[in-house]
Structure 1
Amino acid sequence: MGGIDVISFDMLLHSYHLLLFNDPRRNFRRVVAINESKPATAGEVKSAVSDVRDHQDESTTPQYVDQSYPVKWSERLPWIGTLLHSMRFVDWKIGVPSHDSRQPDRHPNPPSHLRFILTAILRTLTGFVVVDLTSAWTQQDPYFKAFGVSIDSPLPNTGLITLIPPRLLRCTVMALQVWATVGQQFQLPCCLPVALHWAGYLSDPWSPHLWPTFFGSFRGVFTTQNLGAVRNFWGRYWHQTLRHYCSGPGVWIADFTHLPRRSYYRYFLLAATTFFFSGIVHIGLVPPEPAFAVKSANEIRWLILKFFWAQPLGFAFEMVVSRVLRGLDTPKPIYVMLNIVWFAAWCCLVLPLLGEAGRNLGYWRMWPIPLSPWQGVTRGKWLPWYA
């Protein structure tokens, strides 16, 4: 790459988290079921999870033990191997009370194997269609391909779509593409281990249909009893695969300086460090010599950094306004409305940073998928890469 790239920096953070900011051999414990030889059905796991939460029927509650770093070499290999692949530390106690209290973490309402596989395929196809339809717009909107065109410039169409503010529509298109390419692709690779668990070849901890979901409820972003849509989006909805690694340095600093666990100072420190490192991870998407750019590689990287580094400012705004609204005894329906409006406004403020970066990287210069139903139906060009 000639510079930072995503995989290398991600592995660097991963290594630092496990070797510099923590001591897994001393402090990490793997949560292991006493009997993992017989994979349980989804219904059995659902019942077991309910029992664990309610503490009502100990006879059907799975029995777990905390496994420290093993003495025997033969037991170390699975212990270490599982630790290295557990990016979200599911079924691990790592010394973080908010995380450890949920372990062993299981899907609260696990789907059947078949339902999980069918849902994964459906979500992938949904993402495929959304990318195709949004690409149809980016190909004919000069903002996405021509430099110097403002995000607030008039829309190319003259129909009812022009009633939508240009910035709002273009930010929605960008958000849908990110949602489709990232948010809908997590489950499809998990179909193979789920099928193997279904056939009895994998134990429960290795079957993704029993894990907590990668993404939370999007509706839940807006329905909390405070102004917190931006915080809820990043903390409850969006995937958490990099959360521990990016927040690790901040947690170490907070513990070293003895900041109280529930203090505002600690919260802001963790938010700032998490998005600081998340921004650095994502600038690895920029090659050293972008082929279509009018900006230098470093200028494009700064656009991406600004997007991620701005998020804690949104958190701070929400927390200040929430304190005022709580003093006014604001009803929940008002919070829902304010969260929707605020989230849309925030996206319209920060997403253009990614839009400008994407335009310079040439993201919208070619059709992103090799098979296009949209082009096939409208132009008879089903294979845009080859026609």
Structure 2
Amino acid sequence: MSPTTEGPSSGLVPTPGFAVPVMYPIFIFGLTFTSRITRSVFFVALLSIAIFVVFYSTTGHPSTNYIYATSLWSLIFQSLDYLVIVDPYTEFSLVDQPPSSSPSALPFLSRLKWSTKLVLSPRGIGFKHEPKSVLPPHPSPQSRLRFIFLHQLPSLVPYLLLADIGNLLLRSHPSFLPNGPSLSSVGPIMRYINVFIFALGSYCTLQLNYIISSIIFTSLHFYSPQDFPSLMGSWGDAYTVRRFWGRTWHQMMRRWLSSAGTFVVQRTLRIQKGTNLSAYSKLFIAFFISGLIHQMGDYALRHRVPVFDSFWEGGSIKFFVLQTGAIMLEDGVIALGKNAFGIRGNSRAIRVLGYVWTASWFAYCLPIWTDPYFHDGMATGELVSLIGGVWKGDWKGTNLRFTLPLDY
């Protein structure tokens, strides 16, 4: 092991098992206070835990370190919005809350329940700030038993199998393994297949976590079935890079990424709202924060030293900031098509062209993010393979590999 990477002499301590779970009660309890100063104290406590976990501790497993880091720092930016940037008692209200009332007037236990729902609903489900124009429709009202046993539990099976296939494909591709070649070293067709292989595992894992959460919370009567619209939007909307990030991919970060942008652009820099400068500045800030969250995971994979220099070795910030440039480019092309050539609407031909552009963009830029991410060991965690177990008796998928057309 290199002396510049994580090891016994690195000074890291074992990550406490309660580090991630304890963040939620601290966050929720902090939201019950109406004083911004008091809430800010809770934010400092959360920030301190996140810094300690990422920079001073390790689980001993690179992939687990990554998950801990990105989970914690997602919560940090959500808590920065809710505890510090805005007044949650004027900014957020439940759908059934009378306009004249405020959660601040509720007794403590009611505020605690309100805070819990707010923290556990990053997309604003059940609140008036829910971005309904970009989220999938809510499920129709139905009994909890019907929702769980006829919809959610059956949907676990295909996602489990697809996630298994995605993980096996990752382990079959040398570019997704430690110290492997770049994802850009394959043939042009395989560049597109790389995007599919990477997205499949991530997409299915997120869906599985969401479905399992919906089963748990509806069983506990904390939420109703109609509080669980699909986590992902339609792939039919993904014919531009903007629409992929803004509609098709999950919108779990949307609220607090846009809030941070508004705080910096409108309240701090005083850039006029409604201008292109304002819109693209906020877009840049949103993608920069998203990149920073993932960059925390990049660093936590290996804990190289010195910290300041090695922190920037991951590709997450570069990848996510580049999305701003791609969106600005396609906005310009779309505007040119409308103004110079009179192209209107979204015909089938235009959408097909858009899908080709979007897929080509990700085929080009994905290695910037994933090369350091996987070469530092993201795909080295323990694997449970149903397909490997049933087919070959290989329940860890150790020896099961697919043949991929890497040269094409």
Could you say whether these structures have the same fold, taking a TM-score greater than 0.5 normalized by the shorter chain as the test? yes
Is residue 138–residue 226 contact of structure 2 (8 Å, CA) maintained in 1?
Answer: no
- Go from structure 1 to structure 2 and tell me whether the alpha carbon gap of 1:124 and 1:306 turns closer, same or farther (over 3 Å shift): farther
Distance in 2 between residues matched to 1:15 and 1:345, nearest whole Å:
36
Range 272-281 or range 143-152, more displaced: 143-152
Letter in 2 for 1:3: F
- Go from structure 1 to structure 2 and tell me whether the alpha carbon gap of 1:92 and 1:326 turns closer, same or farther (over 3 Å shift): same
2:161 matched to which residue of 1?
129
Deviation at 1:215, TM superposition (A): 1.8
Task: Report Cα offsets for 1:120-164 as digits up to 9, x if no partner.
Answer: 334432232223223333333333336352434457xxxxxxxx7
Identify which of 96, 107, 121 aligns with 1:73.
Answer: 107
- Go from structure 1 to structure 2 and tell me whether the alpha carbon gap of 1:321 and 1:71 turns closer, same or farther (over 3 Å shift): same
Is residue 130–residue 177 contact of structure 1 (8 Å, CA) maintained in 2?
Answer: yes
Deviation at 1:320, TM superposition (A): 0.2
| Unaligned ranges ≥5, structure 2 | 1-52, 57-68, 401-408
1:253 matched to which residue of 2?
264
Is residue 288–residue 297 contact of structure 1 (8 Å, CA) maintained in 2?
Answer: no
Letter in 1 for 2:260: P
- Go from structure 1 to structure 2 and tell me whether the alpha carbon gap of 1:359 and 1:266 turns closer, same or farther (over 3 Å shift): same
Deviation at 1:287, TM superposition (A): 4.9
Letter in 1 for 2:322: A
Is residue 17–residue 245 contact of structure 1 (8 Å, CA) maintained in 2?
Answer: yes
- Go from structure 1 to structure 2 and tell me whether the alpha carbon gap of 1:273 and 1:116 turns closer, same or farther (over 3 Å shift): farther
1:354 matched to which residue of 2?
369
2:93 match: secondary structure: strand
Distance in 1 between residues matched to 2:265 and 2:376, nearest whole Å:
37
Deviation at 1:186, TM superposition (A): 1.2
Range 105-114 or range 350-359, more displaced: 105-114
1:44 matched to which residue of 2?
none
Q: Which structure is richer in relative contact order (CA contacts within 8 A, separation 6 or more)?
A: 2
1:359 match: secondary structure: helix
TM-score by length of 2: 0.68
Distance in 2 between residues matched to 1:154 and 1:9, nearest whole Å:
33
Deviation at 1:319, TM superposition (A): 0.5
Distance in 2 between residues matched to 1:29 and 1:380, nearest whole Å:
52
1:82 matched to which residue of 2?
117
2:37 maps to 1:24:
no
How many aligned residue pairs are there? 324
Deviation at 1:381, TM superposition (A): 1.8
2:387 matched to which residue of 1?
373
Q: Tell me how large the CA RMSD over aligned residues is.
A: 3.4
Matches within 5 A, 1:154-165: 165=189
Could you tell me the percent identity over the aligned residues?
A: 20
- Go from structure 1 to structure 2 and tell me whether the alpha carbon gap of 1:346 and 1:182 turns closer, same or farther (over 3 Å shift): same
Distance in 1 between residues matched to 2:212 and 2:199, nearest whole Å:
21
Identify which of 216, 238, 241 aligns with 2:233.
Answer: 216
More helix by share: 2
Is residue 304–residue 357 contact of structure 1 (8 Å, CA) maintained in 2?
Answer: no
Letter in 2 for 1:169: I
Task: Report Cα offsets for 1:210-229 as digits up to 9, x if no partner.
Answer: 3443221111223xxxxxx1
Matches within 5 A, 1:51-62: none
- Go from structure 1 to structure 2 and tell me whether the alpha carbon gap of 1:118 and 1:298 turns closer, same or farther (over 3 Å shift): farther
Letter in 1 for 2:105: V
Distance in 1 between residues matched to 2:171 and 2:196, nearest whole Å:
15
Letter in 1 for 2:249: W
- Go from structure 1 to structure 2 and tell me whether the alpha carbon gap of 1:258 and 1:383 turns closer, same or farther (over 3 Å shift): closer
Deviation at 1:232, TM superposition (A): 0.7
2:363 maps to 1:333:
no
Is residue 175–residue 371 contact of structure 2 (8 Å, CA) maintained in 1?
Answer: no
1:225 matched to which residue of 2?
none
Letter in 1 for 2:101: Q
Is residue 247–residue 270 contact of structure 1 (8 Å, CA) maintained in 2?
Answer: yes
Deviation at 1:20, TM superposition (A): 2.7
Deviation at 1:251, TM superposition (A): 0.6
Deviation at 1:275, TM superposition (A): 1.0
2:76 matched to which residue of 1?
12
TM-score by length of 1: 0.72
